[in-house]
Amino acid sequence: MTAIAFPAPDAGVLARREEILAGLAALLPADALITDEDERRAFETDALTAYRRVPLAVALPSTTEEIAAVLKFCYEHGVRVVPRGAGTSLSGGAIPQEDAIVLGVSKMNRVLAIDYANRTARVEAGITNLAISDAVGAEGFFYAPDPSSQLACTIAGNIAMNSGGAHCLKYGVTTNNLLGVTMVLLDGSVVEIGGEHLDAAGYDLLGLVCGSEGQLGVVTEAVVRILPKAEGARPVLLGFDAIETAGACVAAIIAAGIIPVALEFMDRPAIKVCEAFAHAGYPLDVEAMLIIEVEGADAEIDDMLRRIVAIAEPFGPKALKVSQSEAESTAIWKGRKSAFGAMGRIADYLCMDGTIPTGQLPRVLKRISEICAGYGLGVANIFHAGDGNLHPLVLYDINKPGELEKAEAAGADILKLCVEVGGCLTGEHGVGIEKRDLMRHQFDEVDLAQQMRVRGVFDPGWLLNPAKVFPLEGRVAA
C-alpha cells in the first residue's frame, strides 16, 4: 500500500453511473465519451504512476460549448470532475477517482491565430507546449516556458500547474507568459479573462488561475506571448571538487550582474549516471558540475562566456569546457536532458521538486544525503541553480517490498527540509496528491483557509479535482 489517501468514492454517484453516462452521452458525440473499462483504464493515472484509480467515464470534448455542457451537467448532478491535459503530471494532478469523470482537452489542439506584430498566439488549450513553438519557429519566434515534458504536455496542464522549465531564469514561468484565457466555470458559464493586451483588468484572475491545478474551472483557449528567438546560445561546463565551491561560483556570477539563460547543477551521482548513458564528456572526478548557458550573437556569447570563465577561475574548477560549436553544445545538454531517463535505467525513483534559497544549497544537499542514507536509499541531485529549484531523485527498487514507502517518507522529509530553510514544497510540478498532506508544513490554518475560501468562490461543493492540493482534513466550505 502507498501512503496517500483518496476520499471514499461517493456511493450515490457510483449507483447512478448508468444514468450519469446516459446524461453525458446526450451532450457529446459518441466518440467523445469513453465508458468501456479497458479504455477508461488508459486514464487511471498520470506520471505519478504509483497511484491509479479508474474513473467513472472519460469525456474528450472538441469545443468550449461541449465542455460547458459537461460541466453544467456535472454541477447539477453532483458529479466530480478531474480535468486532464496530457496526463504528464509528476505530482498526480491528473489522477482520477472512481466517482469522477475525467474531462480531457486533448482533442482541442489547434492554433487559432498567430499575431507576430503583437507577439501573441491564441491556441486551444489541448495543444502541446512544443507545438506552439513549432508553429511560430519558422518566423523566428518561440513559446518560452519549456518543461521537460514539452513534447507531450498541454498548455492546459501548463496553466493548471504554472509550469516552468530550464530557461525560466530569464524568461519566467507560465504565469509570466500568459495574456488571456477562455475558461469554463463549473456552472457552465464561460468567462474571458485578459486578451491580446498586457495586464488584464480588475483582480488578477489570470494569475489566480495559473497554478490552480484544475480546481477553479477548465481553460479551453489561451492567449500566450511568443518571443523572438535569440540569435544563438552556447554553454560552458564547469566541474568542482566541492558542492560549496560550485554554489559560491554561482553566487559570484550573479553578483557580477550576469543572468544566464540556464544555470544547471548536477552532483556526483547524477553526473555518473548521465555520463554512462549519454557519453556527454562529463568529468567523473568532480563532486559538482555546472552547465551555464548564455544567449546572443556569437560575439556576445564569446564575450559573456569569457566573463563567466574569469569569474569561475578563482574557484579552481577541476573541469572547464567552453562549447565552441552547436555539436559541442548538444553533447553538453544531452547528458542533462536525458537525466531522468538515464536514472530510470538503473533504478526506480521519485523526482522531488522543492525550492530553496540558493545560499542554502551545500547544507541542504548534505542533509538530503543523510536523510536518504537513513532510509537506506540512494539519491542523485539535479538543480536549477539560478532559481533554487531542486530535483532530488530518490532511488528505490519497486520490487523490494516497503521501498516505495521508504522513498515517499524520504521525499517528504526532503520537502520539509526545503520549507525549513526558507523554501517551498514545489517549484514547478505542483502539489497534486503527492504533496497535499504536506501543505500544513508550509502554510498555517489561516493561510490555507484563505486559499480555500477563494477556491470556494469557483467551486463551493468541491467537485473540481477535489482530492488534490488541500489536505482532506479540515477543509473549509465557501
Interface residue with another protein, options 63, 118, 324, 330 (CB under 8 A) = 118
Min separation Cβ 401 and another protein, Å: 32
One DSSP character per residue, 361-423 reads: HHHHHHHHHHHHHHTT-EEEEEEETTTTEEEEEEEE-TTSTTHHHHHHHHHHHHHHHHHHTT-
Q: Is 251 in the site for another protein (CB under 8 A)?
A: yes
Site string for another protein, 147-176 (x = CB under 8 A): --------------xx-x---xx--xx-xx
What CA–CA distance (Å, rounded) separates 424 from 74? Answer: 34
Site string for another protein, 181-220 (x = CB under 8 A): ----x---xxxxx-xxxxxxxxxxxxxx-xxx--------
Q: Which of residues 332-391 bind another protein (CB under 8 A)?
A: 355-359, 384, 387-389
Element (H, E) at 152: none
Q: Which of residues 385-444 bind another protein (CB under 8 A)?
A: 387-389, 422-431, 435, 439, 442-443
Min separation Cβ 59 and another protein, Å: 22
Nearer Cβ to another protein, position 109 or 162? 162
Closest residue by Cα to residue 83 from 449, 338, 473, 465: 465
Q: Please, what's the b/e burial string for 319-340 (b: 16 or more CB within 10 A of its CB; e: otherwise)?
A: bebbbeeeebbebbbebbbbbb
Min separation Cβ 275 and another protein, Å: 27
Nearer Cβ to another protein, position 268 or 436? 436
- Is residue 229 a contact partner of residue 142, using CB atoms and an 8 Å limit? yes
Min separation Cβ 385 and another protein, Å: 11
Interface residue with another protein, options 15, 49, 447, 471 (CB under 8 A) = 447
Instruction: Please state, as a whole number, how many other Cβ atoms lie within 10 Å of the Cβ of residue 419.
Output: 17
Place of cell 489541448: 126
Nearer Cβ to another protein, position 11 or 446? 446
The count of residues interacting with another protein (CB under 8 A) is: 95
- Phi and psi, residue 454, nearest 5°: -65, -45
Place of cell 562566456: 305
Min separation Cβ 19 and another protein, Å: 29
Site string for another protein, 72-101 (x = CB under 8 A): ------------------------------
Site string for another protein, 25-64 (x = CB under 8 A): ----------------------------------------
For residue 276, with 0-12 CB atoms within 10 Å meaning exposed, 13-18 middle and 19 or more buried, which class applies? middle
Stretch that binds another protein, among 45-53, 61-69, 256-264, 319-327 (CB under 8 A): 256-264
Nearer Cβ to another protein, position 116 or 366? 116
Residue-level length of the chain: 478
Q: Is 117 in the site for another protein (CB under 8 A)?
A: yes
What CA–CA distance (Å, rounded) separates 86 from 108? Answer: 11
Cell of 384: 536549477
Cell of 371: 536523510
